Amino acid sequence: KEKQADIVIIGAGGAGMTAAVEAVQKGATNLVVLEKMPITGGNTVRATGGLNAAETPYQEAEGIEDSVELFVEDTMKGGKDLNDPKLVQVMAEQSADAVTWVNEIGGDLSVVGQFGGASVKRIHRPSDTSAVGPMLVNALNAKLKELDVPVFLETEAVHILLSEEGAVQGVQAVTKGGEPYTISCKAVILATGGFGANSEMVVKYKKDLDGFCTTNHSGATGDGIVMAEELKAGLVDIDQIQTHPTVNPDTTTMYTEGVRGNGAILVNRSGKRFVNELETRDVVSEAILNQEGKTCFMVFDQSVRDSLSAIEKYIGQGIITQADTPEELAEALGVDKDQLKATLEQYAKYQAEGKDTEFGRESMEVPLSMPPYYAGLCAPAVHHTMGGVKIDTTTQVLKEDGSAIPGLFAAGEVVGGVHGANRLGGNAVTDIVVFGRLAGSAAYDYVAANG
- For residue 426, state whether it binds ligand ADP (rule: CB under 6 A): no
Centre a 10 Å sphere on the Cβ of residue 219 and count the other Cβ atoms it contains: 21
Nearer to ligand ADP, 143 or 260 (CB): 143
Distance in Å, CB of 223 to ligand ADP, minimum: 3
The footprint of ligand ADP on residues 184-243 (CB under 6 A) is 191-193, 219-220, 223
Centre a 10 Å sphere on the Cβ of residue 148 and count the other Cβ atoms it contains: 8
Nearer to ligand ADP, 176 or 349 (CB): 176
Nearer to ligand ADP, 36 or 423 (CB): 36
Distance in Å, CB of 1 to ligand ADP, minimum: 16
Site string for ligand ADP, 35-54 (x = CB under 6 A): xxx----xxx----------
- For residue 156, state whether it binds ligand ADP (rule: CB under 6 A): yes
Residue in 157, 160, 275, 340 binding ligand ADP, rule: CB under 6 A:
157
Is 281 a known active-site residue? yes
How many Å apart are CA 54 and CA 366, to the nearest integer? 26
How many Å apart are CA 98 and CA 430, to the nearest integer? 7
How many Å apart are CA 180 and CA 302, to the nearest integer? 54
Query: Torsions phi, psi of 28, nearest 5?
Result: -65, 140
Residue in 14, 107, 271, 406 binding ligand ADP, rule: CB under 6 A:
14
Q: Which of 122, 125, 273, 281 is catalytic?
A: 281
- For residue 12, state whether it binds ligand ADP (rule: CB under 6 A): yes
Q: Which residues contact 306 (CB under 8 A, 6 or more apart)?
A: none
Q: Give the chain's radius of gyration (CA, Å).
A: 22
Distance in Å, CB of 14 to ligand ADP, minimum: 3
DSSP type of residue 426: T
Tell me the angle at which helices 427-450 and 85-93 cross, rounded to the nearest 10 degrees: 90
DSSP string, 90-133: HHHHTHHHHHHHHHHTT----EEE--TT-SS--EEE-TTS--HH
Nearer to ligand ADP, 168 or 366 (CB): 168
Residue in 136, 202, 335, 432 binding ligand ADP, rule: CB under 6 A:
432
Q: Which residues contact 196 (CB under 8 A, 6 or more apart)?
A: 43, 202, 214, 215, 216, 220, 241, 382, 383, 384, 385
- For residue 149, state whether it binds ligand ADP (rule: CB under 6 A): no
The residues annotated with a catalytic role in the active site are 281
Contact residues toward ligand ADP (CB under 6 A) are 10-16, 34-37, 42-44, 156-157, 191-193, 219-220, 223, 412-413, 432
